[in-house]
Structure 1
Amino acid sequence: MSYLVTGASRGIGLELVKQLLALPKSQVTKVIALSRGAPPAALQELLGKHTSRSIHIAASVDNTESVKQAAQAVEAQLGDAGLDVLINNAGVLGELSAEGARFIPPEEMLRVLDVNVVGPHRVTAAFLPLLEKGKQKKVINMFVKNSDSIPSIGCADVRRRSSTMGSIAMSEYFTFAPVPPYKISKTALHMLNKQYASEYEGKGFTFLAVSPGWLKTDLGGPHADLDVDVGVRDVIRIILEATPAQNGNAVSIKVSGNDRYDGKEIPW
C-alpha cells in the first residue's frame, strides 16, 4: 500500500512516517512525506534510510496551488497504481484567549480554519483522483493537537481528554481550554469527514477520523499519557483494519489497561 502523510516534519506525522517505513514492503510499498519547505534533519535522515520506498514533497496545506503541484508530483511517482491511504495530519493550535471567542481576531479564526479544515479539504480534493485509482481508498483525518501546549486551566483528567476537544457532545469538559478557533476547527473537520464519507458511500472509500490521544511530542510535553510510538502504533493498526463499513466514523486508539483510550467511537 502507498501512504501520504501531511505534517510529516515532526511529532505525530514524523512518527507515522517512521513506523510505516518500518513495516515490510509487502504492507507498505511507498510513503510520501509532505511538509512545508525542506525536510528537517530528523525527517531527512529517516527518508535517507529508505530511499527506495519514500519521497518527500514540500507543500503548504493552506495554499491551493501548492497542494495541486504536490498531487501532480505524487501522480508522477505512483502512476496508474494510485494512492491507497491519505493521512491528513497537518494542523495548528492557534492563538490562546482566556477571555473567550469574542477576543479572537477574525483573521486568526480564519487562519486556523484555513489550515485545520480547508487544508484537509484541499489535500483530499486534490488527491481524490489518485485515491480512486488506489486499492484501499482510505482517508484518515487526525483529530488532535496535543494538550500540553494549552495552559493548565482545569483538572488534569479533563486535559487528558483533549483529543476529543472538537466533540460537541463533550464540549462542557473543554470550557477550560482557551483555544476557541482550534475547538471550532476540529468540530468542522468532523463534518468535513462526514460530508466526504456520505458523498463516497458505496464507492469503496473509508473516510475515518482518528484521535491518537495525548502523546509525548514536542507539543504534547513530557507529562502526556502515552509515548508517541504507542499512540501512533495503534493509529496504524486502526488504518490497517479499517473497512468501508466504518466510513464516516470517528474513533479513538485502544491502549490496554488505560480506560481513557478504549478504542470506541467518539461521541459527536
Structure 2
Amino acid sequence: MSSYLVTGASRGLGLEMVRVLASKPASEVSIIIATIRSAAPAALQEIISQAQGRVVTVQLEVTDPANVTKVAGEVKEILGGRGLDVLINNVAVSNTTPTSVTATTTLLSTFDVNVVAVQNLTLALLPLLREGTLKTVLNMGSIVGSITYAKRFMVAPDPAYRVSKAALHCLTRLYALELEAEGFTFVAVSPGWVQTDQGGPYADLDSPTAAKATLDVLSRNREDINGKLVNIKVEGWENATGLHKYDGGDLDW
C-alpha cells in the first residue's frame, strides 16, 4: 500500500492523476493527498466521494514558504506515522501568450512556481519521503525545456516556461545523484502536448491518457529512470512524425 501526494490537483493532469490513482485498489494505493489552492472543484469532490476516504485534500500555496511548512505538518498528521512514498510535483505556470525571449518579463515569477516551489516542497517533505517505502519524486518536466531540442520547439510560446523546465530537469538530476545511495528515485517526466488549460483543445493527448502514461513511468525499473527526463509511452504515437512522439524513451535534456 503506497501513499501519494499530488500537487495542482484541481484540474488538468493533476486532477486526472488523482483519478487514476483513486481507481487502483487500496492494496496498491492506500492514500492520495491532493493539494489545491482553494475549494475543491466539483470534479475532485466527485472523486473524493467515491474513494472511500483514500483521497484527502490540503490547501497549498506553493510560493508561500510558511504555507509549505504548515502543509508538511498536515501531511505528517494525515499519514499517521507512516512515510510518504511518492511525491508528484505537478504544479506549474505558463504564459500562453506568444512572446520572444527578448520580450520575456515573467522569468522570475515562472521560476518561483516551476523551480523554487518544487525545491521548497521537496525539502519540506523529505523527512516523510525518507520514512516511505518507495522514496520517489516525480517532477513534471517538458521536452520543450530540453536544450537539445531547443530549435525544434521555437514555436512554443513561452521562453520563461522553457527555461524553467530546463532548470527543473537539472534540479531533478542533482537530487537523483545526491540521494541515490539512500534508495531514492527522482525522475522528470515529459507528458507532451496535453489538452489542458495550458495545452489547449487541439493538443495531441487528452488528460486521462497523459495522466495514465505519466504514472506508468513509475512502474519502470527505478535505476533506469533515476535522474532522467523520460518520455511517456502512448500506443499509436510511438512513431509519430510531428513535433511529438510518445515512445517511452529517454529524452536528451
Query: What residue is the counterpart of 2:90 in the other structure?
Result: 89
* 1:102-121 Cα distance to aligned partner (Å, 9 max, x none): 3223xx21110000001111
Alpha-carbon distance, 1:257 to partner = 2.2
The gaps in structure 2 that reach 5 residues or longer are: 240-244
Q: How does 1:185-264 map to 2 (within 5 A)?
A: 185-258=164-237, 259=239, 260-264=245-249
Amino acid at match of 1:4: L
Number of aligned pairs? 246
Contact 2:4 2:32 survives alignment (8 Å): yes
Counterpart Cα distance in 1 of 2:146 and 2:226: 18
**SS at 1:216 equivalent:** coil
Query: What residue is the counterpart of 1:166 in the other structure?
Result: 145
Q: How does 1:113-128 map to 2 (within 5 A)?
A: 113-128=111-126
Contact 2:110 2:160 survives alignment (8 Å): yes
Contact 1:97 1:103 survives alignment (8 Å): no
Query: What residue is the counterpart of 2:242 in the other structure?
Result: none
Query: What residue is the counterpart of 2:104 in the other structure?
Result: 104
Contact 2:96 2:198 survives alignment (8 Å): no
Counterpart Cα distance in 2 of 1:125 and 1:118: 11
Amino acid at match of 1:130: L
Residues 91/173 of structure 1: CA separation in 2 closer, same or farther (3 Å cut): same
Alpha-carbon distance, 1:97 to partner = 4.8
Amino acid at match of 2:126: L
**SS at 1:92 equivalent:** coil
Alpha-carbon distance, 1:90 to partner = 0.2
Amino acid at match of 2:212: R
Counterpart Cα distance in 2 of 1:245 and 1:265: 9
* 1:230-261 Cα distance to aligned partner (Å, 9 max, x none): 12112111113341442101101111221211
Query: What residue is the counterpart of 2:26 in the other structure?
Result: 25
Counterpart Cα distance in 2 of 1:229 and 1:97: 27
With normalisation by structure 2, the TM-score equals: 0.92
* 1:161-197 Cα distance to aligned partner (Å, 9 max, x none): xx41000000011223231111110000001101111
Counterpart Cα distance in 2 of 1:138 and 1:169: 26
Counterpart Cα distance in 2 of 1:10 and 1:241: 26
Counterpart Cα distance in 2 of 1:225 and 1:126: 35
Amino acid at match of 1:56: T
Contact 2:95 2:157 survives alignment (8 Å): no
With normalisation by structure 1, the TM-score equals: 0.87
* 1:43-101 Cα distance to aligned partner (Å, 9 max, x none): 12211222421110001111111111111001011133110000000000036353x22
Counterpart Cα distance in 2 of 1:245 and 1:263: 12
Query: What residue is the counterpart of 2:159 in the other structure?
Result: 180
Query: What residue is the counterpart of 1:158 in the other structure?
Result: none
Residues 128/41 of structure 1: CA separation in 2 closer, same or farther (3 Å cut): same
Identity rate, percent: 45
Calculate the aligned-residue CA RMSD, in Å: 1.5
Counterpart Cα distance in 2 of 1:96 and 1:189: 22
Residues 247/227 of structure 1: CA separation in 2 closer, same or farther (3 Å cut): same
Contact 1:88 1:142 survives alignment (8 Å): yes
Residues 256/16 of structure 1: CA separation in 2 closer, same or farther (3 Å cut): same
**SS at 2:81 equivalent:** helix
